[in-house]
C-alpha cells in the first residue's frame, strides 16, 4: 500500500492519505518540498516521518480514508 502526504504550506497543514482515497488526485503534479504538494511513500512509517519533517503545525490524517 502506498501512502500520500499532502503538504500545504499556505495553510500550514500536512495530511496523510491512503492510495485509494478520493481526495488523492489522479494526475499528481509534483512540486518541491518548500512549495508543498503531494508526496508518495511506500509505508506508513515513512509517511509519518515526512509529515513530522514537513514543518506544518497542523498534522492530521484524512477523515475520509483514516489511514
Which of 2, 8, 21 has the alpha carbon at shortest distance from 51? 8
Phi and psi of 51, rounded to 5°?
-60, -45
Q: What is the pLDDT of residues 9-56, one digit of tens each?
A: 888 999 999 988 888 887 766 666 667 788 999 999 999 999 999 889
- pTM reported for the whole predicted model: 0.83
Question: The C-alpha cell of 67 is what?
Answer: 489511514
Tell me the C-alpha distance between 48 and 34, whole Å: 18
Query: With contact defined as beta carbons under 8 Å apart, do 47 and 16 qualify?
Result: yes
The position carrying cell 490524517 is: 61
Amino acid at each position: 500500500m502506498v501512502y500520500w502526504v499532502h503538504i500545504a504550506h499556505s495553510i500550514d497543514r500536512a495530511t496523510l492519505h491512503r492510495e485509494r482515497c478520493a481526495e488523492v488526485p489522479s494526475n499528481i503534479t509534483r512540486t518541491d518540498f518548500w512549495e508543498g504538494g503531494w508526496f508518495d511513500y511506500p509505508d506508513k512509517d515513512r509517511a509519518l516521518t515526512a509529515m513530522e519533517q514537513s514543518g506544518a503545525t497542523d498534522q492530521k490524517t484524512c477523515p475520509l480514508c483514516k489511514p
